[in-house]
Amino acid sequence: MNKKTIAFVTGGYSGEAVISYKSAVTIEKNIDKDKYSVYKIDMHPTGWWYETEEGEEVAVDKNDFSITVEGKKITFDSVLIGIHGTPGEDGKLQGYFDMLKIPYTSCNAATSALTFNKRYTVAVAAFGGISVAKSLLIFKHSPVAASVILEQLQLPVFVKPNNGGSSIGMSKVTKPEELEGALQKAFNEDDQVLVEEFIKGREFTIGVFKNNGNIITLPITEVISKKDFFDYEAKYVAGMSEEITPAAVDEAIAEKIRNKAKLAYQLLNCRGVVRIDFIFNEVEQQPYMLEINTVPGQSEASIVPKQVLAMGWTLKEFYSALIEESFKY
């Protein structure tokens, strides 16, 4: 059997590149090398490079996304996308691979671009019957006074960059005088900022992927932050949050979350694995969708790998399933 040749892309152009490199360690360790010939491509602002075993850097030919190693030109059957942030999570790479007719493991260009924009994501979700928090989208070129925002939204609110992930630039605001500083912090990361009303409840997150045409939900994780909310530190610093997988939750609540997660996956035409964050409001007995991560973290500390293991799969089986599914599009 001829091995498929896979490009595994990591790095990226944003502050999230550091998370991409952490994910890369887990992914590299668990791609089935008996099934696939794997070439890791590091994409960063100085260029796209493959490093040989001897440590030589080989530039990627961007005309056809190929590399030439020891005089042999190598092209790829599929691309496993492991880049968090731009250009791997916002549709830019997906559009490039679409033009070259190379399959890849993530959502398509349109879905990636849409879900990278938190406001547009929740707008589409709400249109499809999924509960979301009340929010405002603020643009840097059209500033809105804090007082005007507070006329439309009730405190507490979350202020976060509208594009991007890993909770970089995010703040929880409980007093009116804190809002201006929180806006500035978020604008340092993005020229669009989302201000969103706080939903009281338990925080859950769930991985969803497609296998053999079926939408599969991974075991749910409950996130209990030791800080006031699940920010960058709570996500990536050991001991700052407790993640319980599978979540200790009534089956009726779990079923509501699973159903809404599947609905969101369908509604937004997702592919590959995504992770969807919810707050379950216990008064309304309703899950509120917060956001969709189309390239969820795969590091040792990340949630999706833990959910995969809790389901009884190995990561090797999981990454193989993602790669095989990519050939069906």
Q: What is the pLDDT of residues 125-137, one digit of tens each?
A: 999 999 999 999 9
Please give the average per-residue pLDDT across 219-224, as a whole number.
Answer: 96
| pTM tops 0.75 | yes
Query: Three-class SS of residue 209?
Result: strand
Assigned CATH topology for domain 4-106 = Rossmann fold (3.40.50)
> What is the per-residue pLDDT for 2?
85
Architecture field, domain 135-197: 2-Layer Sandwich (3.30)
Spell out the domain ranges in the chain: 4-106, 113-130+200-326, 135-197
pLDDT, position 300: 81
Residue 1, pLDDT above cutoff 50:
yes
pLDDT at 63 over 80: yes
Write the CA distances from 240 to 18, 110, 117, 296, 301, integer angstroms. Answer: 19, 35, 27, 19, 12
Distance (Å, whole) CA 147 – CA 177: 10
The pLDDT of residue 15 is: 86
Q: Is 72 strand, coil or helix?
A: strand
pLDDT score for 241 = 78
Predicted local distance difference test score (pLDDT) of residue 227: 61
- pLDDT value at residue 225: 79
Q: Which residue, among 262, 254, 264, 263, has the nearest Cα to 285 in the 3D structure?
A: 254
Going along 153-310, which residue ranges are E strands?
A: 157-161, 171-173, 192-197, 202-211, 214-217, 221-225, 241-244, 274-281, 286-293
What is the CB neighbour count within 10 angstroms for residue 110? Answer: 14
pLDDT band (50, 70, 90) for residue 236: very low
- Whether the per-residue pLDDT at 240 is higher than 80: the answer is no
Please tell me the predicted confidence (pLDDT) of residue 238. Answer: 55
Q: CATH topology for 113-130+200-326?
A: D-amino Acid Aminotransferase; Chain A, domain 1 (3.30.470)
At 139 the pLDDT is 96
Give the chain's mean pLDDT: 93
